[in-house]
Amino acid sequence: MKSSFSRRDFMQSGVLLAAACATTGTSPIVAETLTVRGKSYPAQLGVASYTFRQFTRTQMIGFVKQLGIRDLNVKDIKDHLPADAQEEAKALADYAAGGIHLHAAGAIYFAKDEDTDIHAKFEYCKRAGIGVIVAGDPTPETLPRLEKFVKEYDIRIAIHNHGPEDKLWPSPLDILKSLKGTDPRIGCCIDVGHTVRAGTDVAQAIREVGPRLFNVHMKDLSDFTNKESQVAVGEGLMPVREIFTALDGIGYKGFVDLEYEIHGDDPMPGVIASIAYMRGVLAGMGSR
């Protein structure tokens, strides 16, 4: 189903974006508290550093500042946030100097069901002040050990679904089934692209996951059966407005992080279009 966002809504949002640009002299995509239908819209827009996987940390900080977004879902790729403590400290200093807030890290993979490995990854996130670990592949058998560290560090785990190729977690609903009785700080990162490819209604999944939803990876596809059909958000079939409506309905207060996985050597045109479209959808919903 194509997102129900009209040309009129887009033109209205374009006026708002242009006005912001004229006022600030920078990109009009400004991170701020949104108001929808007269109330504060709790979700916030961010970006996944994987989007800029071919670029250095310095280059990425420049891109993120150009977008006007200050919130980053960071990954240990390139030199974005190295696992080595000394190199990590240098990266954190760079982000602080650039006014960039790290709100999540991942995907982080827990291939070993052992304390030493898991402890190192929680320490990595603790040093960075990160409150959400996006976990790529923990098995159900690993969850009790992860739960122990979640309680010790008070850092949430958001298990990331990876679509039909993922034998464990193709859909957020598969994750949800394994979370019964676990600490409420263990939940989901819903990747909307992988969710629709798994044949799951993404808006309904958001409603069902509810308070266990800790992160959202946003993207768009022109074909829900083809992983390689990713396009800029707004150019495909993703029901973007319905997604934001569902997030609003559950009072989601986390981040919707753009994860733009195509055109790795020149991502900014698609990134700018995607962020602008999402803000346009929110404008069409009545946000200020």
The CATH number of whichever domain residue 273 belongs to comes to 3.20.20.150
In-domain check, residue 35: no
What's the domain count of the chain?
A: 1
Q: What is the DSSP letter of 235?
A: S
Q: How far is the C-alpha of 22 from the C-alpha of 37, rounded, in Å? A: 26
Cis-peptide, bond into residue 107, ω within 30° of zero:
yes
Helix (H, G, I), strand (E, B) or coil at 35: strand
Asked whether residue 172 is domain-assigned, the answer is: yes
Closest residue by Cα to residue 113 from 147, 79, 88: 147
Distance CA 116, CA 69 (A): 35
Within-domain flag for 32:
no
Round to whole Å and give the CA distance between 110 and 92: 23
Could you tell me if residue 167 is inside a domain?
yes
Structure confidence by residue, pLDDT tens digits, 74-114: 999 999 999 999 999 999 999 999 999 999 999 999 988 99
Reported as a single tens digit per residue, the pLDDT across 169-193 is 999 999 999 999 999 999 999 999 9
The residues, any chain, with a CB within 8 Å of residue 90's CB and separated by 6 or more, are: none
Over the range 154-168, which residues count as b (16 or more CB within 10 Å of their CB) and which as e? ebbbbbbbbbeebee
Q: Residue 72 is encoded by which pair of tokens? A: 């980053």
Report residue 243: phi and psi, to 5°: -65, -50
Whether residue 1 lies inside any domain: the answer is: no
Q: Are strands 44-48 and 101-108 parallel, antiparallel or unpaired?
A: unpaired
- Asked whether residue 26 carries a pLDDT value surpassing 90, the answer given is no
> 146 lies in a domain?
yes
Domain that holds residue 85: 7-17+40-284
| 213-239 tens-digit pLDDT | 999 999 999 999 999 999 999 999 999
pLDDT tens-digit readout, 250-280 = 999 999 999 999 999 999 999 999 999 999 9
Domain annotation covers residue 29: no
β-strand partners of 258: 47, 218
pTM: 0.87
In a domain, 260, yes or no: yes
The answer to whether 37 and 249 have CB atoms below 8 angstroms apart is: no
